[in-house]
Chain A
Amino acid sequence: MITMDYRLIELCRVGDSAAIENFVQTYQQDVYRLALSILDDPGEGEDATQEALLSALRSLDSFHGTSSLKTWLYSITVNICRNRLQRHKRHEHLTKILGEILRVRSTPSVEEGAIQNESNEALWRVIHGMDEKHRIPVVLRYYHDLSVAEIAHILQIPEGTVHSRLNTARRQLHGILKEGRL
């Protein structure tokens, strides 16, 4: 569980090295797990963690304690991950076009192959195939164990919309399970 001494936040604001180290130590695991679960790439997750922690430290002045620090930090992380996903999509699109022109086929790495074998590949494929609008609430709810209210706060959308998106995602998964495709 994340806890933070608010005196440390004040020290981080004025650039105290020990406080900043303490801040990073306290939050980096949770931020990294969140970034990893959205980006599904350890390298990208680590870069997003750095970006999110730095961004949070830069904007500590705008944290007024109206939400929990964890929710605030998660909001920053989710936004950074979304931006990275968008960039990645554009890059993928360009690579696809180039691939078609150059007739290059990419092969999955050994590591990727091993992970795919360990987990339920078909279920993952469905989750991975969802748009981020539906996938991120599912990950926040079922991996990070967050309530609908917390997810609403992080994504800055109404609770009804969170429920609606979770519902759509669950219906999609349920439909596929019923058809016996998993």
Chain B
Amino acid sequence: MNRISHKQAIKWINRRLDGLLTNQQLLLLDEHLRSCDSCTSYAAEMELLPTQLQNEFHARWDEKPGPSEKVMQHVTAKARNIPMTNRISSGIKLLAGAATLILLAFAINFVVSQLRDTSTTAVGTETVNILPRAEDRLLAFASNQNGNSDIYTMRADGSDLTNLTNNPAYDGYPFWSPDGKQLAFQSDRNGSTQIYLMDANGSNVIQLTNDEGNPQFDINGHTPWSPDGRKLIFSQFSNGERKSKLYSMDVDGTSKTLLTNELGEYVWPSWSPDGEHIAFISFESQGMPTVYHLFVVDKKGNNLTELTGSLPMGRSLLFSNYYWSQDGRSIFFTTDSNENQGPASTVYEASLDGSLNVIARASKPILDWWNGTVLESETPEPALTWLRSDGSQSTLDLCRSTDQALNIAYKRSYNGNLVFGANCSATGWALYWANPDGTDISKLVESIIPVRNDVLFNMIWSPDDHFLAFVSLDSDYPNPTTTLYVLDVAEARKDPSVQPLKMEASGPSWQPIP
């Protein structure tokens, strides 16, 4: 009888190639291989590879002559001066060290004073440990690659792809817990869509809801997890309607709390960074254009307040995005105006009691605002302009002059860096990177996402600002398809030939802590 599964056997065949199996594991693997033709055949193929590689490398390099005499001459000539150079450089280092200490004292003083100023954080930002190795972080996502939607994890470079759910039912929308140990997700494995929880390796699946109205996450790039990892927010729909109510619950499925008494078109809730409040958008889609309202409610479901309630007539939330301040006491959002008077777009800071402060104004629609820098967008002429608080500005034309920009998409990273894209009618999507105030802009990739993929969404930065995962929607086919891309932004900035990893999938979520 086989004591290990095929999956385990394949994993161990690969580990055996690197000499990483214990004696006990080697015995179990041998036992499996004796009775499994497919694994034996895989092992034989994999074991052939090292020989092929060794032959190739030796054929290529062994016949090459060794280094010439010049190496010896050059190195010995220069190396004789090393002790003297080292002594001089030690002296310089000593002086430089003293100077650095003085500068450091000034720098720390400056940083501390900057931190005291109000700053913003992207909505849904989790408290994370920044680790030196971005590749060790797992990306969870949903994919149909096995015939139905399952939840997978993989590393940012595409390695260690693992199907966590392996269930014939629908499983989707995975969200990592703040400690990176669990995933909340939705599934219809018991007949209707409900919310579930599982460990990072797919084990210990627990059903958290068993309610009417298909409880699910309607999150749009935020996280349903409270910052302390104890609660989840979700939507529950009125049967047959688009209207829903928002709830929170403890992660064991108890203490379900109603956040919105009335049914409404409530979407994209997010926790304040201190976990005390939840903001969400309500929209009226009957008229044109759609009007968005921003609400906030405390975590117990009390004190529901519309933050856009005291806006001047004719102004409404623009682009439906908003940012929590870092202390969770206010929210920044942008409005447009239907009136032909004054600036077209305004950034407000709303206190949680609904009082408003004007932060910035611009004559064109403000796409985004970050610590004093306004990002204006201009359509149909596809251009972005950064207006900085010191009065300087930079403009970037997104498509060639003959092109039309069919759509744009963007996402701030946790540190305020921006990746944005424009779908140009002639060339498809091009993606760019900009630092927080737009003084450093570079093109990352071009023409990898076709024009017909008309929307980019689920743009999620890895918590260390290294990778960006995003999804494109191809709605031209009878069955719309979603493609997940994972772009190594740090590498793409250095090397324009870097291409994103690509697969048919959606709903990416980065593990906060590996």
Contact = CB atoms under 8 A, between A and B. Distances in A.
A93 to B, nearest CB: 6
Contacts of A154: none
A119 to B, nearest CB: 5
A174 B43 CA distance: 11
A123 B60 CA distance: 12
B226 to A, nearest CB: 31
A136 B76 CA distance: 29
Report the interface size class on chain A.
Answer: 35 or more
B53 interface: yes
A15 B80 contact: yes
B157 interface: yes
Contact of B159 (A37, A54, A164): A164
Interface stretch (B201-209, B216-224, B396-404, B491-499): B491-499
B3 interface: no
A177 interface: yes
Nearest to A162: B18
Contacts of A148: 18-20
A170 B49 contact: yes
Contact of B59 (A40, A119, A133, A147): A119
Nearest to B135: A161
The prevalent SS among residues of A at the interface is: helix
Interface in A1-60: 12-15, 17, 20-21, 24-25, 28-29, 32-33, 36-37, 40, 42, 45-46, 49-50, 53-54, 57-58
Number of chain B interface residues as a range? 35 or more
A61 interface: yes
Contact of A24 (B55, B76, B133, B135): B76
Interface in B9-61: 14-15, 17-20, 45-46, 49-50, 52-61
Nearest to B14: A167
B158 interface: yes
A81 interface: no
A89 B60 contact: no
Given A15-B83, A54-B79, A163 B20 contact: yes
22 contacts: A15-B82, A20-B75, A20-B79, A24-B71, A28-B71, A50-B74, A57-B75, A90-B495, A119-B59, A123-B56, A127-B53, A142-B50, A143-B58, A148-B19, A159-B20, A163-B20, A164-B135, A164-B159, A168-B157, A170-B14, A173-B53, A177-B45
Interface of B: 14-15, 17-20, 45-46, 49-50, 52-61, 64-68, 70-72, 74-76, 78-86, 133, 135-136, 155, 157-160, 494-497
Interface of A: 12-15, 17, 20-21, 24-25, 28-29, 32-33, 36-37, 40, 42, 45-46, 49-50, 53-54, 57-58, 61, 86, 89-90, 93, 115, 118-120, 123-124, 127, 133, 138-139, 141-143, 147-148, 157-159, 161-168, 170, 173-174, 177-178
